[in-house]
Chain A
Amino acid sequence: MIADRLAAACREHPLREKILVVPSLAIGHQIADAVAFGGTPWVNLRMETVRTISDAVAGFDLAGRGFTVLSRAQALAVIERACDRVLDESSYFAALLGRPGLYRAIQRSVDDLRHAGVNPEAIPKGAFEDERKARDLGLIIGAYERELRDRKFVDRCGVISRAIELAGQGTWSRDALWFVLDEIELTNLEKRLLDAIGAGTILSISAGNHDAARPPLEVEFARAVGEENELRGALRAAVTLDEAEVVYTSRDPYLSLAYELTSEYAIPATFAEGIAAPFTRPGQAAIGFLDWLGDDYNTTHLQRIARSGALRTPEAVPPAVFARLLRASMIGWGRDRYVPRLEASITEVERALEESESESRSEWLTKEIERRREALNVAQSLLEIGAIESLPGAALAFVDRFAATRNEIDGMALAALRRLLQELAALEEPAAHGERARDPKDIDRLIEAIAATHVAASNPRPGHLHVTSMRAGGWSGRKRMFLVGLDDTRHPGAGLQDPVVLDEERRNINSSIGPGQLDLLGDQPARNAARLARLIERAGAARWTVSYADVDLRDRRARFPSKDLLELFRAARHESDARYDALVAGSTVEGFLEDRAPLSESEWWLGQRFVRGRQDLRPELWSAYPWLAQGERARQARATDEITAWDGRIDVSPVDIDPRCTGRVYSASQMERMARCPFGWFVERVLHIQPVEELLRVDDRWLDNRQFGVLVHEVLQETMEEICANGETPSHAAHVGRMRAIGETALLQWRSEVPPATESAFARQRDELFAASDVFLRTEEQRCAEVEPKFFEAPFGMPKAQASSIGMIEPLVIPLGAGTSVKLRGQIDRVDRDRHTGNWQVWDYKTGSLYEYREEWRLRRGTKLQHVIYTRALTEMLRGRGLPGSVDCAGYYFPTSKGDGARIARECAPGELEHALNLLFDVIGSGWFPLPDDGKCDFCDFRGLCGNPEEAKEGMARKQTANANDPAVMAWRRLQEVG
């Protein structure tokens, strides 16, 4: 074992400096700790990597000469520019210019060539499939190196090369005993560096004997239902966390799954490769910010990061408040909407403050103004940052000012992101001239770069489970090892070729330049297999569980064990011809059902129910989760024949709720709503629950039905008013132009309130509006031969009636017998007068479909009341103004293309309205708010809240039958009979 051999060296040379060259410092530290834990105290034992050595040898020299070392991401940007500069139409790679994958592939190949020490000019032309490749690569490397030189950059390869030079000149030497861990995988160039500094004195030292892949002494095999159960198996078996290490073959999905699961079960863990930045607040914030830029400044993204706590805002406007204000000011999206909308929202509160009469309210309003002002400031800063030309620069400014941090990991993430963004910003070349439109692809790429950033990488720590990769695993000396991900898709991998220098070409190059210089990618699986063997070897003393997931949970696809897993199984069982089914049969199954050591409460219940087969768990469940018991009570109540407090029945005095007693004024449409769905009315008007109002971006729709209805209304109203004010009669030919102009103005007005997501959606509704205009004018043209349009908008029971030539300020009072009455308000869309009889007609515009109006009804179970209420109201108004004639026609008018301009008149007998209203109020007044019997409702915001009306239907019917003598039920049923 490596630790023993190092310990021996330490004992032999206690004081002398001993240096071990390791693949990574993390591994080195684990080895050094193992030496001391093995009982050998040590002094002057140092761990170095190729990187630290080359930095030590050449770092100051390079820095002294003004060179900056580039990260890989930065070097990629230089490669990209080099390619763009030297490749032209005649180049082999020309077809892929601009594709990010090309640059990455070229960077890999260039690295390979440089590390192998292959000079592209020396490559014989015939080595390549396409001769142009040699020239292209030569040019790219030339241009790349030139830019490095010119801008005083140096990449990793350059640092090593310089270090070799310096070491060769003898300017750097270290009097030490040198060891190299032979697990390290070195490139040619790296080997040369070690040769140069060690001058042949380096001892190779190995963690084990690799003659044959020996299985560990103790090994179990497992197959799991999905990767997550593979990990759960490990979490369960890791009885003492800091004695266990989980090694994965592939980072995705194991690393993030392990992070999720250990967090879920509150298991402290260290991650050798860190965790992905998007798991941290600064990561989430940065991505949210970029999404915001990429999605036309849609507030949704800011709201999200604000609500999740990833956004940091000034104290005066906490993130949740900022989110609320962004939404409430109906900004929606678009850079230009922020300032005016937020300013308008401030003005609104200022106005309210002026009008406020209560002190506490004024106080609140003053605070609210402050909050809104601060929100405006924040928004302005964000917009300024968003306008920074350099994208990484903007992101950097954003995280600096607005990324929240709550814990250590957030802090590390912030630092790592700043570094990344600084590096990327440093390399950007200023745009040739002026503004440059943001390329959505740049945003995507930056998001990818952030997502690929890993933070808080850690060595094993006491009290923590260690999770690591196959390369970095097996060094902790822990007693319990878990190796996950040994299915054949993840291990040993496919050995995909490098498209820039194909294996065939690599072979040619190698044979013409010298053997074994460029690795073949087809050997990748073999190399992975060897890594696995070494991993197991170096922790061979531990107890192992090796596993694979035999199904992908997402799509329920089967997965199969890797060939190496079978080999391991054969070796462990001493059955060299064991077959796959033996492996499968010889593996324990890790699934969702686990009886012995549940990780969570849920698992315990699953174990009890399905492993032990218990069917008597309910009582225990109710006592463990009292809310579920309460829920069950509700379910049972709903299942009984009684109409209970869970069926929309409340305990209330009629004085508080019965419109005949409350003395409040109700709108006519509210009455209809009440009759259509008392429960919905209860939610809206009694519980005061409102849907969140916000602008959502829907590509194929601009205004919703209600909004579009209002728009049509406005246009019709204004057109008719104008025509009639001019003393004209409507005519399609004469007025269509004017009506369109009015329409255009209204469209513009609406547009500023509600920005259309797409122009085509806007255009569609514009067409629809104009089609409605046509239908309307044609209908009017014919109609006006018979009638004279007299009033448009006749309000009653509303202050604005004052301005109307017909309206009345007082509500309409409908006596309902026994001294009771109800007060109503509303607004009649349209009043016409019959040219022959002089009688009056009342019309209500409808922009929806004719569907409900096809049947013959008078009040339609109380859901259509307007025609009667308006008739009454108009009669009052006429009487009030002393106008002759009676109202002899009332109904609904469909001035749209869908409705073909149909006018549907409805009448009802005297007393019928009173009858219906009394029934309705008998129901409501009793404190019962049923759902519609037929379970059918139009679009309603409360769908998620009332329970599925379609499903509730049957239960409701049953309850009504069982309580047929309940006065409220009787009233409700009789109301349903009103035609």
Chain B
Amino acid sequence: MTLADQSARDAIARDLDINLMVEAAAGTGKTTSLVTRAVELIRTGRCKIDTLAAITFTVKAAAQLRERLQEALERQASGLGARAAVEQGRIDRALHNLDRALIGTTHAFCARMLRERPVESSIDPDFEELDETETRLLMEEFWSRWFEAQAIGGSEQLRAVRETAVKPWLLRNAFFRLVDYADVEIVSTPCGRPDLRAAVDAVVAFLAKCEPCFPTSGMRVKEDDFEKMMRELVRKRDTKDLGETLDQLEFLEAGDHASRKPTQKNWPDGKHAKQLGIEYSDIVRNLVRPTLRRWREYVHCVVIDFLSPAVKAFEEERLRNGTLTFNDLLLRARDLLRDHPGVRRYFQRRFTHVLVDEFQDTDPIQAEVLFYLTGEEVEERNWRRLTPRPGSLFIVGDPKQSIYRFRRADITTYLTVKERIEKTHGRVEILTANFRSVGPLCAFVNETFPRLFLEDDVSKGRQARHIDLDAQSEGVAHCGVYALEIADGRYEGVAEEEARRVAQWIRRAVQSGLIVDDGGEQRPAQYGDFLLISERKARLSAYARALEEEGIRFEVTGGEAFAKSEELRDVLPLLRAVADPDDAIALAAFLRGPFCGASDDALYRFVKLGGKFAAYREIPEGADPAIVAGLGIVKESLGFARDLPAAAAIARIFDRLGLTAFAATREQGGTRAGNTLLALALARRESASGSGFARIVDRLGDLLESDARVEEMNVDPAAENVVRLMNLHQVKGLEAPVVFLIDPAESFEHEPDIFVDRSGEVSRGYVAIRERKRDIALPENWDALAAEESAFQRAEHNRLLYVAATRAKSILVAGVRIKQGQRRGVWSVLAGSAKPIFDVGQSERGAAAVGEGSGFEAARVEIERRREVARHASYSVLPITKIAHGSHEELVRAEEGLGKGTSWGRVLHRLFEGMLRNDALDIRRFAANLLKDEERDAVELEEVIRVVEAVQQSDLWRRAKSADERYVEVPFALQVPRREAGIDEDGATLLHGTIDLVFRERGQWFVVDYKSDATKNRLDALVRYYTPQVEHYARFWQRLTGVPTRAGLFFVDGCIESWT
């Protein structure tokens, strides 16, 4: 059967010299088309694997693409046969060099370009790529430093900002925001400082009129809002200097409430009061508010003037220090290509063909990079004017799935690129054949989205046009769209109820063997077939709980329960008390906490007995057992912290305390225990980067207390065939036979605080600064801009719905609330008039299994035993000296006699070795070098020479020199039974040693060991001590050579020989 979009698919594989943009709707095979294109480019010899660049949206997608490309190439290789030897060669080479293909995210790709050409980008080639947390930290650190420098340097701009009374933390947040949008020109309109006087005067005049009419204490229970405001204004009038702008501002802001009305019965003259209220509202609307708006526009301009240099300075500093944010990678790579034609040419040679996936969601800068990489005109700096070389660019995307506006992605960019490709002889191909969803689901999408993708939005470039999906499978009985209806109620209650229903339904569906359509294959459902998607993360945990309750295994992506982990929060005091034994609060908190359970009464008695909340203090007699146990744990933990690397110490503390075990046995134990394990994993990571115990504890505290979002972990993250649970922004590329759209709260519209207009040559950003709901600084004409941004966001919201609706293969269930008979909530547009979800039987869940288990005590013993066994040495290696000299003590005693330290002995040994190896040796020079090498005093040279001269005169030396055969410094090794080496165990040991000198004379070997000890008065003792060692040598030598061997000691001091 030919597909309706067959011609488009053919073009992908055929029109290799034409730039293509493929609009691939959901489920139409994006990656396949990318792989097809790549294989064809290689097979036809247009591109070598080294010059291919494929850019994906995530690291994961990159890895998958690489795998698929390899497999496709392998299929080609085996399918080509002999008919195309040239092609075979190309494919083989590609497979062999697959590692050279550049397949990765834009960021990885840009980073690679920067590392390759750092000079032109003026960036340290070893630059560091900061992740979000690191960026945040660096930003904060820079900001305080920079701000401080401005303050000390008496900056004019700072003075101006101070005179607007904008709070420093608002400035800081605005700064962070601007850093995110460094590629955008932030618009600020210069304007003069507005005069607030007229508005102030009007309010003061009104106060004069109003004040005499104020209610008095006895008249009312409580001040009404209007009175409260008026009294505040009076106070301000009296204590502020209303000639000063800032005081004026404070005054006006206090009075900026048009809707506060007097409660008539409070006021002596209610009617008059009402009149006053109306009058005041007018003043606010006509005078106060417009004045404040002018003021905010003025503040905007002052603040942006102040912040822009900061953004610039921060950027320069990052470049200088080689610390690059994600954004920097793109921006700097863009600049590198844009500003250096030579480099552009170089990379155009390096990457002849660029393939891009998920283009609708990539950063706008990426579009520029792509055009610079492929554009023919290497001198042209404006990417919008570039013509990509024919066939060099292949882009896949789906504008209907563009959902990352909040992360800078912008549909405007997509549309611009599309237009440019068409204009430069490229083509847009559209894929519609959907291999994912069954007919009824495709029909549903085709019916719903043309309505939701408003024509007005499409024409204004805010929305993509819907294109009908062409289903490839008809599906089974139950497939289609359903609604799950929950009666409206309390916020959490609705989610909990829905969660319960969803979980039960899933369990029953699996138990009853509901048949699902899995891409054409029909089979009974398993847990892995279910995907639960929420719009936001907030209440995912309610669903997780419900699934657990039903005994269903699941996996949450992006759940944020880590920071809420009770066990970790509760163990923190213990860790803190260990990190800082003077921290009495932490210590007491641990004792009183859930791991120790000391009562308040016990604590009181402890203090009465003279106990102190300090880890190292003595525990008074008679203290409560809970406290004694707790302090015991603290002491043990201090020991771990002292003796073990930091993360290991924390792990041991957890283990000793029983923390993970405890977590595991509670409800949601999988996630609880998972989080303690995750904390340890994070600790290990910290420790590897050099942090000590205290710092790791601090970090852990930060993670738990700050808003740093760490994704929770389940104890079995590898579990397969589990229900998946995530939010809408994480479902990209995912699919499942059955999809539930959960959490039917209303969708939440953010009030915009930035609008970026990417339609022109230069992208412009308009930033509003707000303190919670209060406007602080606004760009000119903000209301219109905000409305435009909202329109963009609404269009994107509909695309999010599109993404949600197109994940399901056979069943889509939209959760809705029923309020006054109406379906409500974020998914209600999708639920439309869909039938309520069908029943899947009523099977009860089986009783929880109680497994067979061994006892803990036995396990503890077993763990110890296994460690013991593992540690047992299965072999041994011994230096002969160790077995020869009985006790160590004796050795120490003998060594006392050396007098000059072991290095003296080494100098002599090495010198004798040199002399015996090389007749021509310059002894003086060699000895001098040896002394230096052994870090000894050069004046010892003369002494060395005296010794050498004496030795040269000795009988032994003469014999050795004239021997038939001679070896010096001879290493040797042999394996002997352990018992032979004096070790009372079975098995073998390796003995090794070094013989100083061995020579053959008249058919007999002589083994000699030099000794540099002082011999005076102790020769006998030394001989006794050293003889066994040389005897060992001799025995070994004799065994090896089969020739009689004698052993001897040569004491350099006095040139004394001692033979056995």
Contacts and interface: CB of A to CB of B under 8 A. Distances in A.
Contacts of A309: 642
B607 A688 contact: yes
B754 interface: no
Given A308-B641, A309-B642, A243 B874 contact: yes
B501 interface: no
24 contacts: A35-B973, A37-B990, A45-B971, A60-B929, A64-B929, A105-B126, A238-B870, A239-B869, A242-B875, A260-B688, A320-B616, A497-B115, A529-B99, A553-B681, A592-B716, A597-B866, A601-B860, A606-B715, A614-B853, A615-B850, A627-B596, A631-B594, A646-B600, A649-B601
B118 to A, nearest CB: 5
Interface in B630-658: 630, 633, 641-642, 644-645, 647-648, 651-652, 654-655, 657-658
A764 B1036 CA distance: 85
B629 A690 contact: no
Given A64-B925, A560-B67, A563-B98, A284 B692 contact: yes
A627 B657 contact: yes
B78 to A, nearest CB: 7
Given A102-B124, A601-B661, A591 B584 contact: no
Contact of A463 (B148, B873, B965): B873
Contacts of B1041: 14-15
B694 interface: yes
Nearest to B864: A266
B718 A691 contact: no
B661 A621 contact: yes
Interface stretch (B236-244, B384-392, B761-769, B799-807): B236-244
B838 interface: no
Contacts of B50: 522
Interface string A579-609: 1100000000101110001111110111011
Given A102-B125, A633-B597, A944-B586, A36 B645 contact: no
The winner among B240, B681, B713, B928 for most chain A CB atoms within 10 A is B681
A263 B239 contact: no
A44 B63 contact: no
B592 interface: yes
A419 to B, nearest CB: 12
B621 to A, nearest CB: 19
Contacts of B674: 592
Contacts of B78: 577
Q: Which 8 A-B pairs have the closest CB atoms?
A: A101-B126, A41-B974, A612-B851, A634-B597, A605-B661, A625-B658, A645-B599, A462-B873
A763 interface: yes
Interface in A606-629: 606, 608-610, 612-618, 620-621, 623-628
What bracket does the count of chain A residues touching chain B fall in? 35 or more
Interface string A306-346: 01111000000000100110010000000000000000000
A368 interface: no
A689 B613 contact: yes
Interface residues of B, number: 172
B214 interface: no
Interface string B122-165: 11111100000000000000001001101110000000000000
Nearest to A599: B863
A658 interface: no
A256 B629 contact: no
A42 B150 CA distance: 75
Contacts of A557: 59-60
A526 B96 CA distance: 9
B974 A945 contact: no
B846 to A, nearest CB: 12
Contacts of B687: 256, 260, 279
Interface in A1-45: 14-15, 17, 32-33, 35-37, 39, 41-45
Contact of A628 (B320, B579, B658, B876): B658
Interface stretch (A89-97, A183-191, A381-389, A664-672): A89-97
Contacts of B688: 252-253, 256-257, 260, 276
Interface stretch (B282-290, B460-468, B473-481, B662-670): B662-670
A499 B119 contact: yes
Nearest to B641: A308
A954 interface: no
A692 B124 CA distance: 43
Given A627-B657, A687-B613, 13 more contacts: A60-B926, A256-B688, A257-B684, A307-B694, A609-B664, A609-B665, A610-B664, A631-B593, A633-B597, A635-B594, A691-B584, A944-B585, A945-B585
Given A37-B875, A60-B926, A499-B117, A525 B99 contact: yes
A691 B585 contact: yes
B478 to A, nearest CB: 29
A816 interface: no
The winner among B222, B716, B849 for most chain A CB atoms within 10 A is B716
A284 B579 CA distance: 15
Interface stretch (A742-750, A771-779, A860-868): A771-779
Contacts of A683: 588
Nearest to A60: B929
Nearest to A896: B239
Contacts of A600: 651, 655, 863
Contacts of A947: 592
B833 interface: no
Nearest to A522: B100
B303 interface: no
Contact of A591 (B169, B718, B928, B929): B718
A760 interface: yes
A363 interface: no
Interface stretch (A351-359, A391-399, A488-496, A706-714): A488-496
The winner among B592, B652, B876 for most chain A CB atoms within 10 A is B592
A621 B673 CA distance: 14
A558 B63 contact: yes
Contacts of A633: 597
A292 interface: no
Interface string B321-338: 110000000000000000
B376 interface: no
B81 to A, nearest CB: 15
Nearest to B628: A627
B601 A631 contact: no
B556 to A, nearest CB: 10
B582 A774 contact: no
Interface string A641-670: 000111111111000000000000000000
Given A101-B127, A606-B660, A613-B848, A96 B990 contact: no
Interface string A559-571: 1100100000000
Nearest to A256: B688
Given A606-B715, A687-B603, A689-B588, A100 B848 contact: no
Contact of B970 (A44, A327, A608, A623): A44
B151 A700 contact: no
Interface in B467-519: none
B1059 interface: no
Interface in B856-915: 856-857, 859-860, 863, 866-867, 869-877
B967 A304 contact: no
B119 A627 contact: no
Given A462-B876, A644-B599, A692-B583, A96 B972 contact: no
A652 B629 contact: no
Interface string A97-122: 00111101100000000000000000
B146 to A, nearest CB: 10
Contacts of A502: 116
A451 B692 CA distance: 13
Contacts of B59: 557-558
B855 A604 contact: no
A645 B601 contact: yes
B693 A264 contact: no
A645 B670 contact: no
